[in-house]
Amino acid sequence: MISFYSSISEFNFLNFIRQRLESIEITNPHLAHTLCKMIPARCPFAREVKIFERTLFRIPPLCKLNPFYEQIVSLRFKCLCYLANECGEDITVYC
């Protein structure tokens, strides 16, 4: 029983963080630039292990294992949209 209740509270806590990330409004260009620099455009964890030009194995991208992946990508998209639409800036440096 205890593990069941702890998993429910954990689930509620994760949902709370997801909702908080989704509710962030971008109204500051400095914050938008900072978040675009911090959040990568693609998952940086995918790797190929090679020896002498031969691929031994691949490590798949682990971003999908992050419980907040969708919200973080959405936040980066909000920042890019704000910079392009509201500030009229060129966002190709972040792509």
Q: What is the pLDDT of residues 8-23, one digit of tens each?
A: 666 688 899 999 999 9
Cβ count within 10 A of residue 18 = 14
- Sorted by sequence, the CB contacts under 8 Å of residue 75 that are 6+ apart come out as 21, 24, 35, 39
Residue the block writes with tokens 């029983």: 1
Q: 66: which DSSP letter?
A: S
For the entire predicted model, the pTM comes to 0.75
Is pLDDT larger for residue 3 or for residue 79? Answer: 79
In which element (H, E) is residue 3 found?
helix 2-22
Residue-wise pLDDT tens digits, 31-59: 999 999 999 888 877 788 888 889 998 88
Domain boundaries, the chain: 2-94
